[in-house]
């Protein structure tokens, strides 16, 4: 299956379990991989036959900058589910939400959740 990749989207959100996270907020990074047949768009040069990734960005932004949730898992599920609802040509989606600086002790680069969801027939 062909893929559209929208990676390294960065947002500031107020998600997390701790009060400080909801009060101060923090950066998040999101990668989205859309599995879709791109042949019709490639052969016709017609934007209506592909997925408009500007709209994907706006959708992800509305979730990431929207109502706070406790878990990165919740954000990831919302993004994947909304993409499948909003873009009928997407057959499957992989979403990765990265929390670069979660308030936990230790040395690490980041914490991330990645899921893949397929359209149910």
Q: Does 99 qualify as catalytic in the annotation?
A: yes
Q: Which pLDDT tens digit goes with each residue over 75-117?
A: 999 999 999 999 999 999 999 999 998 877 888 888 999 999 9
Report the DSSP beta bridge partners of residue 31: 96
Pairing state of beta strands 92-99 and 111-118? Answer: antiparallel
Q: Which of 3, 49, 55, 99 is catalytic?
A: 99
- 3-state SS, residue 40: helix
pTM for this entry: 0.94
Domains of the chain with CATH codes: 3-118 (3.30.1130.10)
How confident is the model at residue 23, as a pLDDT?
93
Q: pLDDT tens digits for 4-59? A: 999 999 999 999 999 999 999 999 999 999 999 999 999 999 999 999 999 999 99
């Amino acid at each position: 299956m062909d893929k559209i990749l929208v990676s390294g989207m960065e947002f500031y959100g107020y998600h997390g379990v701790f009060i400080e996270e909801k009060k101060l907020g923090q950066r998040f990074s999101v990668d989205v991989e859309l599995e879709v047949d791109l042949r019709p768009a490639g052969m016709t040069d017609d934007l209506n036959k592909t997925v408009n990734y500007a709209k994907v960005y706006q959708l992800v932004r509305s979730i990431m900058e929207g109502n706070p949730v406790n878990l990165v898992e919740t954000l990831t599920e919302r993004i994947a589910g909304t993409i499948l609802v909003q873009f009928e040509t997407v057959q499957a989606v992989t979403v990765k939400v990265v929390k670069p600086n979660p308030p936990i002790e230790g040395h690490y680069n980041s914490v991330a959740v990645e899921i893949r969801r397929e359209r149910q027939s």
